[in-house]
A and B are shown apart, each in its own frame.
Chain A
């Protein structure tokens, strides 16, 4: 059964699992756990209320008046001045009095609870106030004490009494110490062929060639592996491999997902991807890497503006129908979970149920991103030469923009002309006068019902309010006529009109019109205004400059009707698609910039923007920055946020990243919930090692490449991946060393540590989709080594030979092949890839034209074609696909399969089929 710290039904919506609630855990107490029905009642009706309404002052963190309501003990003890609950007797229970707002302390202090909630609390006291402890409640006294929120320590190296394994560097001491505790031994070093293959895939995501394997096997120097690691780290393909890991964190995609009418492409998303790849290749210090991604726009960049593209980390998320709070939520999530392993987004609607992240801290971050907006045109970042193609693109783009602007102006002109028609003037004037005295919250509906435009109405209203204040001779008559009750209008209007002191033209119009209703009166005035002549300056002024219909073209969108908007959006969409699809479009960066004045955030109660709670400063969450945190002062605060995230005092950032790198080398993290280091996360398997690595990482100037070296040069990394060999090794060691541990006490990690949490051997890993596809191309001899550039469509003929990291990622049409191979979903930050084995993967491998194409290319590699005998051909194929020579059995199998089959030509013959089988083999797809 899952361990529950609390079982607070509200957020997770789950009542305590029945088996987790053992009745009567508090012997002799007045608050026994209760019957199953009572437990259910408590979990559904009471605990959520306590959690929601009371814990913030009477919970784990704070105990106002000494009262704590989140534990049975606290409930029993009561406040400093005595118990608050008398089981079975609501009338004598002060808690009940408080929620009924009857006692000395009406609670909650701000607003009364709903009646049914009060009734539930009363009922609960009446049934004896049963208080089942959820399993583990007692254990977590204060979430702030959780290990991940403590400063990163620099633990001493463990002393090993009886090391059962090789020590190559400090990492091994930490690992062997844990194995020793359990009586387990490390596996022996993997053979060199395994090592070079492992290193190549880990760092490049590409296989070594057979010649590289041979050379490495021949290199007997003790530094051979170290030299290999350094060589691989210097390869430009390293950044492609590790950049892709980061793109998972960054939920990277080239499109926005579903949007209404705009173009769905992010035309310059690739500049972010290229920035990430370049940063890994250049070993950009990770702290700077983070700062770039959050606030490059606020850094002095000098001539090289390319780091601006880093901000794609924030901007390239899904667009959620352009709903701002959701876009910001996505940004908060990618920053907090992606960089700090903190699930801040859980605090959008209420305080985090488990981690010490109050809703206020969520809205502190919200303020930062609400103060950061995307400029209409993303800035250029240079780096592209001015070719004729670029100039042609710019010329075409300018032409299209001019056309668009002209179209907007034309439609604006027509829209304004319509607003100046007699009918429109009459409608708006009448509406403004009709709306006088209406409560503000009804205006919007009123305007809508009249089929008017809110923006224009507001202008007319402002204008008329001012005019009437000044007793305008044009409008005052209508205002007076409006006061006549509609039923008497026809009868009384003539007298009123006769008595008006008004603009003569208006007066005449009204007298001539003999209006029977106010609507007719307004129509008459509308007509005279719309038809004003030069000799009627007062009338002319109404629709003149500064008047309500003098609407600048900048506001054109606000007066367009649906048709205008749809048609213009279609034009705009074409322009944006043109940008996205033109290879010559100069690179730009999807940045954020601070708004001129930052947003002062307020809490949205229950996550509802319409329900505004207390104001909060823009600042870091307290759990990471401590109680002494200071509100941000520099604009949005993004730069301060970034600096705080990478502060050496931040307990999370270095740990979280080191853990991600560890996953890339072992398939599994030291913390197995890589984006959640919170209270409910999986505790680290090697907490000291995690801290030690995080500390070294920072001391090394946040060098990611140093971190790889450190990990890969450990004996732990270089172990064989077979659990069986680890077990055998243990026996051997014990025998050889005459160990004090009796033979029978030696343990087998397969049964004692089936998850291999203690790393008694390496983990065999299956290639992810990127490494698999790239390896096909490599085996086929077709891989395009070019680094960077615009995305390519991987799934249409002709299949590009570029690395998979350059494949177009369309959020709305995420390719089925990506999905079936567990490529990270770009919808949200992805902590770690799933690894599933489903037949649709095999279908792709068996039947896709892409794989067939690579198999054909493999079978027709020049050295295979040139080979004289079938055996030689087979050997060449094995070397190209699997990086090794064939065994005698394999040659026999191969000969049998190809028979007398011909090679080459248009047909997909026996040799091609054989080549495909090699590509599909487990040996190809797994790394030992």
Chain B
């Protein structure tokens, strides 16, 4: 963590020091929050305390983009077998496409841990930690379409421009390592559907936007823009910075008391250190062999290992999407596809949790796994012009799905809420996406109703006018 060279200053003094510059005013809402008096008047990423001490200090969001099926993963529904190939007793709920008969899960479930929660064979490695995982089985969203649901899950608003969850968190807490971005979002080989809108800063300053990393690459220069000079060796760069410091000091001598000048001077030193630190942080080959083996091969494993390296170094929010566009969207060939997708990530998730525990970070790191919605417990019927006549997949399902949380402040070994007998709709203790966000913020130490940003005449919240903290999730 970056040590501030100057002693903490009062807000009044801070304003006195930086009483100019349009942007400072632009950031006034940030600074005006007396509960989180900024330790640093200029750097919006300086760490700040939340409303109350939160158990979670950082977040890893494993975004299973495309919508994994709950009845094939964490929400067993044996009743489906009774109706296999036959219509369910009640009419199917309306989803994106036409659906037909009940489709029992082709995967085996078994009980894990002391809690005895059932998890399917797809996530057998994750399941080894089930006693530390809180499975929310009663999630629901608003519509069965990817685009609005991606936005809802990632920004709390289905259509309009709003800051993403990670941006809110970075805005609220700053970040613990000034040598790395505060909010990093990863996706191998491309971007999820809607691209940068998933990690947009919206009306918050651009520094809170997620920094996108394509984890297909292994070369740090491709991972972090401008992390290294192609023209100047480090020793020469050090000389450059020393000269720069002297020129700037002379310039500053005639212009005392201007924190803008000071801040910019400092930013070069930070950048210089960032080059080393970022290069190191993104270099997973520095991990010992047994750790690399524990995560397994592939891009998912590398992403999650990177996520661990980053939170370990103080990055506030890391999002890991599974792959470009919407890989978990198994309209067809669900058995093959879900097996392939879970096979890419399950081992790494298990390793990640073990690893965080080993490093003593698990208790203070909030892990959230889930898609933007789930899938229907009934088959999707073929649609002219697509599906190629296959009837072996599931349609989108926003009525009920599963998200699980683990780590910082979460009570593991339990299922919260429930879907109906067949896993179609959340019926017991339904948890809306807004409620999930309210709960995440709570775990981080924020009252989601008081965590606001003034923009265009309004005070905006991540949860808009909705959301409740799901008390059952809390440890």
Q: How far apart are the CA atoms of A840 and B209 in the complex, in Å?
A: 13
Q: How far is the CA of A848 from the CA of B232 in the complex (A)?
A: 11
Q: Which of B24-32, B58-66, B305-313 contacts A (4 or more CB under 8 A)?
A: B24-32
Which chain B residue shows the least CB distance to A329?
A: B160
Q: Are B257 and A839 neighbours in the complex by a CB distance under 8 Å?
A: no
Closest Cβ–Cβ distance, residue A452 to chain B (whole Å): 11
**A766 located at the interface, meaning its Cβ lies under 8 Å from any Cβ of chain B in the complex:** yes
CB of B178 closer than 8 Å to a CB of A: yes
Q: A834-B23, A923-B247 are in contact. Are A562 and B385 (CB under 8 A)?
A: yes
Interface residues of A in 681-725 (CB under 8 A from B): 681, 722-724
Interface residues of B in 1-53 (CB under 8 A from A): 12, 15-17, 19-27, 32, 34, 42-45
A423 CB to nearest chain B CB (Å)? 13
A123-B324 Cα distance, complex, nearest whole Å: 53
Please pick, from A2, A834, A847, the residue contacting B26 in the complex, using a CB distance under 8 A.
A834
| Best-surrounded residue of A346, A756, A836, A848 (most CB of chain B within 10 A) | A836
Q: Which of A2, A13, A258, A724 contacts B147 (CB 8 A)?
A: A258
Per-residue CB proximity of A547-570 to B under 8 Å, as 1/0? 000000000000001111110000
Contacting residues, chain B, for A869 (C-beta < 8 A): none
The answer to whether A108 has its CB under 8 Å from any CB of chain B is no
- CB within 8 Å of A: which of B406-462? 449-450, 452, 454, 456-461
Contact at A837–B263, with CB atoms within 8 Å? yes
Chain A residue, CB-CB nearest to B147: A321
Q: Is the CB of B452 within 8 A of A12?
A: yes
Cβ-defined contact, A14 with B19, below 8 A: no
* Cβ–Cβ < 8 Å partners of B159 in chain A: 320-321, 323, 326
The segment out of B220-228, B289-297, B338-346 that lies at the interface is B220-228
CA distance A859 to B23 in the complex (A): 33
Complex: how many Å from CA A849 to CA B19?
35
B461/A832 in contact, CB under 8 A:
no
A841 close to chain B: CB less than 8 A: yes
Q: Does B258 contact A (CB under 8 A)?
A: yes
**Would A847 and B228 count as touching, CB distance under 8 A?**
yes
Contact assessment for A754 and B232 in the assembled complex, using a CB-CB cutoff below 8 Å: no
Check A926/B203 contact, CB under 8 A, given A13-B464, A451-B98, A835-B21: no
Q: Which listed residue (B160, B197, B244, B250) contacts A889, Cβ 8 A?
A: B250
> How many A residues face the partner with a CB closer than 8 A?
111
From A173-181, A280-288, A729-737, A808-816, give the one contacting chain B: A808-816
When chains A and B are docked, how far (Å) is the Cα of A816 from the Cα of B201? Answer: 12
Q: Which residues of B contact A921 (CB under 8 A)?
A: 244, 247-248, 251
B221 to chain A, nearest CB (A): 9
Stretch from B266-274, B348-356, B393-401 forming part of the interface with A: B266-274
Task: Let me know if A11 and B458 touch, CB within 8 A.
Answer: yes
B23 touches A833 (CB 8 A): yes
What B residues does A819 contact at CB under 8 A? 201, 206-207, 209
The answer to whether A468 has its CB under 8 Å from any CB of chain B is no
Q: Which of B216-257 contact A (CB under 8 A)?
A: 225-232, 236-237, 239-240, 243-244, 246-248, 250-252, 254-257
Binary B-proximity of A830-863 (CB < 8 A = 1, otherwise 0): 0111111111111111111100100000000000
Contacts of A908 in B (CB 8 A): 231-232
Chain B residues closer than 8 Å to A818, beta-carbon distance: 206
Interchain CB contact (< 8 A) of A765 among B21, B237, B248: B21
CB-CB under 8 A for A354 and B247, given A755-B20, A833-B22, A842-B268: no
- Taking each of A672, A828, A846, which has the highest tally of chain B beta carbons within 10 Å of its own beta carbon? A846
Tell me if A576 counts as interface (CB < 8 A to partner B). no
Known: A813-B195, A816-B225. A2 touches B20 (CB 8 A): no
A764 part of interface (Cβ distance < 8 Å) = yes
Q: Mark B274-293, 1 if CB is under 8 A from A, else 0.
A: 11000000000000000000
Taking the nearest CB of chain A, how far is it from the CB of B83, in angstroms?
19
Distance in angstroms between the alpha carbons of A668 and B26 in the assembled complex: 10
Least CB distance, A884 to chain B, in whole angstroms: 12
* Residue among A13, A564, A672 with most chain B CB within 10 A: A13
- In this assembly, does A922 line the interface, its C-beta being within 8 Å of a C-beta of chain B? yes
Report whether A668 and B385 are in contact in the complex, using a CB–CB cutoff of 8 Å.
Answer: no
**In the bound complex, do residue B267 and residue A841 qualify as a contact, i.e. CB atoms below 8 Å apart?**
yes
The docked-state distance in angstroms from the alpha carbon of A13 to that of B465 is 5
Does A227 reach chain B (CB closer than 8 Å)?
Answer: no
A residues less than 8 Å from B389 (CB atoms): none
> Hey, which chain B residues are within 8 Å of A257, CB to CB?
197
Closest to A564 in B: B385
Interface string of B174-195 (1 = CB under 8 A from A): 0000110100000000000111
Q: How far is the CA of A894 from the CA of B179 in the complex (A)?
A: 30
Is A827 positioned at the interface, with any CB of B under 8 Å from its CB? yes
Taken together as a complex, chains A and B put the C-alpha atoms of A923 and B23 apart, in Å, by 19
Interface presence of A903 (CB below 8 A): no
Q: Are the C-beta atoms of A835 and B23 separated by less than 8 Å?
A: yes
Residues of B within 8 A of A724 (CB): 256-257
Asked if residues B181 and A836 are in contact (CB atoms below 8 Å), the reply is no
Asked if B458 and A838 make an inter-chain contact with CB atoms under 8 angstroms apart, the answer reads no
Contact with B along A306-329 (1 / 0, CB 8 A): 000000000000101101001001
Q: Contacts A257-B197, A846-B272, A917-B240 given; indicate if A839 touches B22 (C-beta within 8 A).
A: no
Interface residues of B in 114-157 (CB under 8 A from A): 147-148
When the two chains form their complex, are residues A835 and B456 in contact, meaning their CB atoms are under 8 A apart? no
- For A840, what are the chain B residues with a Cβ–Cβ distance below 8 Å? 181, 207, 225-226, 271
Q: A834-B205, A838-B267, A913-B236 are in contact. Are A817 and B225 (CB under 8 A)?
A: yes
The answer to whether B471 has its CB under 8 Å from any CB of chain A is: no
- Roughly how many angstroms separate A504 CA and B25 CA in the complex, as a whole number? 85
Residue of B nearest to A850 (CB): B226
Q: Which of A333, A750, A890 is close to B456, meaning CB atoms less than 8 Å apart? A: A333
Interface flags for A886-928 (1: CB within 8 Å of B; 0: not) read: 0001100100010000000000100011101110111101101
**Which of A12, A667, A823, A846 contacts B229 (CB under 8 A)?**
A846
Shortest A689–chain B CB gap in Å is 19
User: Is A189 at the interface (CB under 8 A from chain B)?
Assistant: no
Within 8 A of B (CB), among A746-776: 750-751, 753-756, 763-766
Contact partner of A764 among B17, B232, B247, B258, CB < 8 A? B258
Interface membership of B164, Cβ < 8 A: no
Interface: B260 (CB within 8 A) = yes
CB–CB B247/A846 < 8 A? no
Task: With CB as the reference atom, state the residue of chain B lying closest to A48.
Answer: B465
**Residue from B27, B246, B247, B384 having most chain A Cβ neighbours under 10 A:** B247
CB distance from B262 to the nearest CB of A (A): 9
A346 touches B227 (CB 8 A): no
Residue of B20, B24, B383, B449 touching A14 (CB-CB under 8 A): B449
A17 contacts which chain B residues (CB < 8 A)?
450
Q: Indicate whether B390 reaches chain A with its CB closer than 8 angstroms.
A: no
Chain B positions within 8 Å of A15 at CB level: 449-450
Does the CB pair B32–A2 fall under 8 Å? yes
The 22 sampled A-B contact pairs (Cβ below 8 Å) are A13-B449, A258-B197, A343-B457, A346-B457, A451-B98, A750-B16, A754-B17, A764-B260, A825-B203, A828-B203, A834-B23, A834-B205, A836-B205, A839-B270, A842-B264, A842-B271, A843-B225, A848-B226, A852-B231, A917-B244, A921-B247, A923-B247
Interface residues of B (CB under 8 A from A): 12, 15-17, 19-27, 32, 34, 42-45, 94, 98, 147-148, 159-161, 178-179, 181, 193-197, 200-203, 205-207, 209, 211-212, 225-232, 236-237, 239-240, 243-244, 246-248, 250-252, 254-258, 260-261, 263-268, 270-272, 274-275, 381, 383-386, 449-450, 452, 454, 456-461, 463-465
Interface residues, chain A, CB within 8 Å of chain B?
1-2, 9-15, 17, 257-258, 318, 320-321, 323, 326, 329, 333, 337, 343, 345-346, 352, 354-355, 445, 448-449, 451, 561-566, 663, 667-668, 672, 675-676, 678, 680-681, 722-724, 750-751, 753-756, 763-766, 812-814, 816-823, 825, 827-829, 831-849, 852, 889-890, 893, 897, 908, 912-914, 916-918, 920-923, 925-926, 928
Q: 5 extra interchain contacts, Cβ-Cβ under 8 A, other than A13-B459, A257-B197, A318-B161?
A: A12-B458, A14-B452, A837-B264, A839-B270, A893-B246
